Chains A and B, each alone.
Chain A
Amino acid sequence: MELYNTNAVNKPLYCGRIGRQTLTSAQAATLDADGLLAAVALPAAAADYTTFAHAMPYARNITAVCSAAQAGNMVVTGTNINDVSITETITLNGNTPVTSVKAFKTVTNINLPIKAGSETINVGWGDKIGIPFMLGAAATRPIIEVTFLGVIEANAPTITADADELEKNLIDLDSALDGSEVCIYYTF
């Protein structure tokens, strides 16, 4: 690792490095609660859905909400930011929105549970962004800062970390995504 000389010749500093993860305007699109499935009637028997309204804009978390009571499991299959296949089972909670803990870069299949009545479901993506690091304890992480349309966020983003599942490492900006370019800076 490169060193930086100080006034104490026996105490050089490590030179830091800064990496930038950039989300284009399209990738930083506003959350879309029905971006994948819009008001789809829950099936008479658990069923797979492979055709979606839109592709995921980026590695983002998944959101789902039903129009009425429903407590079954929805299984999402796709890939993470590293193009590795992943799945997540999300327990639905009627008309209360639920979210995934994983960031999906792509969604290839959604298995919906059997209907409880005549309810429908919206499935889309949220504001949380997948990052390409498996972060450990807070003290070991890089400094993470975010610019939103070129302006450093006044309030720090919320980081969700997982040391061994890449797709569970998420960042949630203080601002809501709205199609403005986002840059995430990691200082090591």
Chain B
Amino acid sequence: MGLIQTDAVRFPLEEVSVARMVFTEAEAVVGSTTGLMAARATTGPCHATLVAASAETDTLTINFVATQTDTPVGKISFVLDANTSNELAVSAVDATGVITIKLASSTAASNTAALIQAAIRAVTPSGEGGVEGIVNGISVAAVVCVAGGDWDSAAVAESTTTDMTDVQCVGGGGETIIPDETVLFNQPPCARTITATAVGTDDIGAVSVIVYGTNINDEVISETLPVFVVNTAGTKTGTKAFKTITSVFLPSHDGTDATVSLGYSEALGVPFMFSKKPYLRATLDGVIEANAPTQVTDSDEIEKNTVDINSTLNGKEVCLYYYLPEA
């Protein structure tokens, strides 16, 4: 480490160097919530439909959001049956993923969609280590049951014409988007943090987009973006700066009206792993920023070191000037 002598002979200063990082006009473009991918409809939730004996139109549709950690298709199924007593009974088997709904034998008011929904959410599967609200590794704690026809006033037994012994879930697995194969999918202009924007208020689920790609050092990274707020349109921003994106997983939402767009923020990835914030000045189009940039530092993940200058990026050259100790 270099030292600079001062007027206090016992108190030399540590010498630091100036390092400059330049973002070209093409790299310093304004952040965009659709810069990577325009709004795209997402798949709806997993669902299964049960039919009562009273009429083929008396149905109960059970919906639940499939997140990226769930593999629900073929993993959860339902059995609808009449109970021998006049009580609603819901049970589940962890190993098979089968949820059995036994309807109260004579009182339809005991079998409403609301009551069945509550019973499924609270079910604890049989078998060692069963956890309430989780069946075969899949959360059913947020299932939504919707009555069709006269289900709430007429359902006391299963359909005699539609097989209700093994009703499989369908849909809701989400999809993987690959830039090279998907129209309107671009790469970030430089290493940037990624945004996902959900629209379609009533159908937005509490799910996350997963981004796969590389960091500023061309190393493979991935990030699960923050969870969307249920039924609330908004943008979620990651903490890692992606230089490239190799694929993105779009999860299913509560319904098919939800759309998701992908973009990049104003936060620029930088090629350091700082344990604490260094001195940093920025210029935008050659003018020193009056207010210091916002720095995020991380000492062991380079992609979490970002800089957001005070001004909004506008396609003009940005220079970052660091004062750093000599290596």
Q: Interface of A with B (CB < 8 Å)?
A: 17-22, 80-83, 132-134, 145, 147, 149-152, 154, 166, 181, 183, 185-186, 188
> Cβ of B11 and Cβ of A17 under 8 Å apart?
no
> Cβ of A82 and Cβ of B16 under 8 Å apart?
no
Residue numbers in B under 8 Å from A188 (CB-CB): 4
> Cβ of A20 and Cβ of B8 under 8 Å apart?
no
Q: Contacts A132-B11, A132-B13, A181-B276 given; indicate if A20 touches B323 (C-beta within 8 A).
A: yes
Residue numbers in A under 8 Å from B16 (CB-CB): 18-20, 185
Known A18-B17, A134-B7, A185-B323; 13 more pairs at CB < 8 Å: A18-B16, A19-B13, A20-B16, A82-B8, A132-B6, A150-B276, A150-B279, A151-B277, A151-B292, A151-B295, A152-B280, A154-B291, A186-B4
> Cβ of B323 and Cβ of A81 under 8 Å apart?
no
Residue numbers in A under 8 Å from B17 (CB-CB): 18
> Cβ of B277 and Cβ of A147 under 8 Å apart?
yes
How far is A152 from B291 in the complex, measured between Cα atoms in Å?
8
The residue on B at minimum CB distance from A16 is B18
Q: Contacts A82-B8, A150-B295, A154-B291 given; indicate if A20 touches B13 (C-beta within 8 A).
A: yes
- Residues of B in contact, count (CB < 8 Å): 27
Question: Which residues of chain B (1-26) have a CB below 8 Å from chain A?
Answer: 4, 6-18
> Cβ of A83 and Cβ of B10 under 8 Å apart?
yes
How far is A174 from B254 in the complex, measured between Cα atoms in Å?
51
> Cβ of A132 and Cβ of B279 under 8 Å apart?
no
Q: Interface of B with A (CB < 8 Å)?
A: 4, 6-18, 276-281, 290-292, 295, 297, 323, 325
**Chain B nearest CB: distance from A31 CB in Å?**
22
> Cβ of B9 and Cβ of A82 under 8 Å apart?
yes
Q: Contacts A83-B10, A132-B11, A151-B292 given; indicate if A17 touches B4 (C-beta within 8 A).
A: yes
Residue numbers in B under 8 Å from A80 (CB-CB): 8
> Cβ of A186 and Cβ of B291 under 8 Å apart?
no
> Cβ of A133 and Cβ of B6 under 8 Å apart?
yes
How far is A152 from B307 in the complex, measured between Cα atoms in Å?
14
Residue numbers in A under 8 Å from B291 (CB-CB): 154
Residue numbers in A under 8 Å from B8 (CB-CB): 80-82, 132-133, 166
How far is A183 from B280 in the complex, measured between Cα atoms in Å?
12
Residue numbers in B under 8 Å from A83 (CB-CB): 10
How far is A188 from B290 in the complex, measured between Cα atoms in Å?
22
Q: Contacts A132-B8, A150-B295 given; indicate if A19 touches B14 (C-beta within 8 A).
A: yes
Residue numbers in A under 8 Å from B323 (CB-CB): 18, 20, 185
**Chain A nearest CB: distance from B240 CB in Å?**
20
The residue on B at minimum CB distance from A154 is B291
Q: Contacts A132-B6, A185-B323 given; indicate if A150 touches B11 (C-beta within 8 A).
A: no
How far is A149 from B291 in the complex, measured between Cα atoms in Å?
15
How far is A34 from B305 in the complex, measured between Cα atoms in Å?
41
Residue numbers in B under 8 Å from A149 (CB-CB): 277
